[in-house]
Amino acid sequence: MRAEIFSQPVLDNCQYMSAFVKSTVREMGSARAPFTCDAWNSLEVLAKISEVAGIELIPAMDYEIAAINISVNDQTVPIFNASHSKEEEFPAFAWHRDSYYPFVCVTMLSDCVGMTGGETALKTASGEIMKVRGPAMGTAVVMQGRYIEHQALKAYGGHERISMVTSFRAKSPHVRDESALTDVRPISNLSELYTQYTRYRLELLEERVRDCLKKEYYRESAKRPFDIPTMRKFLVEQKEFIESMIEELIK
């Protein structure tokens, strides 16, 4: 994975920056990063992550395999000019919820020996603060940053810290999908992002409509009367699903 991240085609094409994210490597794609893409699509890996999450997950979209955050000497910096960064310090993120995908898996690609801090603080339902150790090299943490208020605490003493974030969504079309693009829009090629987002969302809708039709045929053949509340509920849910897509697809 590290070899692919630091390969010339990735260095040349895949760096993004925004006000919120100082430097991230995205959109490596399966041509530039075949091992990384195969790994995150591997059935064994998906089974393990699904087991941890308690729900069957698949990568949110190809675009989200993966985002890599690189910091050197406690500063998040573009990998091109790591030694010239003028940033005083990259603040640990304030308390926030992510506005993107339902689940993320954060994989540590650096040796964290000698590093202190770097935990993720989570606010539990009762308001208590729980500190979760960051993943050590070669391990990963699965979390729901979209639903749980959290804060990344600053890491000290490490030489470099390279973490890979892969985003997931439920595989079942019947699970509510609240993925939002707010956080990823500024660090994405919009045409590609919107193509993939629209495709999977419409596929979900397609599967839901097929399922609804199947149930309707079955109901009819079983000679049961039309169920107004059930159909209205289904339609309202799909209307909201489409409305949220319309809100996401902005220039």
| Phi-psi domain of 133 (left: phi exceeds 0; alpha: psi -120 through 50; beta: other) | beta
Q: Are 130 and 124 in contact (CB under 8 A)?
A: yes
Q: How far is the CB of 3 from Fe ion (least distance, A)?
A: 27
Taking the least distance from each CB to Fe ion, the nearer of 41 and 99 is: 99
* Residue found under tokens 């890996």: 45
Taking the least distance from each CB to Fe ion, the nearer of 6 and 16 is: 16
Q: How far is the CB of 104 from Fe ion (least distance, A)?
A: 8
Q: Which residues bind Fe ion (CB under 5 A)?
A: 98, 145
Taking the least distance from each CB to Fe ion, the nearer of 102 and 145 is: 145
Q: How far is the CB of 131 from Fe ion (least distance, A)?
A: 15
Q: Are 138 and 222 in contact (CB under 8 A)?
A: no
By CB neighbour count within 10 A (0-12 exposed, 13-18 middle, 19+ buried), where does 112 fall?
Answer: buried
How crowded is the C-beta side of 108, counted as CA atoms within 13 Å? 19
Q: How far is the CB of 245 from Fe ion (least distance, A)?
A: 23
Taking the least distance from each CB to Fe ion, the nearer of 27 and 98 is: 98
Q: How far is the CB of 98 from Fe ion (least distance, A)?
A: 4
* Residue found under tokens 């308690």: 54
Taking the least distance from each CB to Fe ion, the nearer of 40 and 100 is: 100
Cα separation, 141 vs 182, whole angstroms: 23
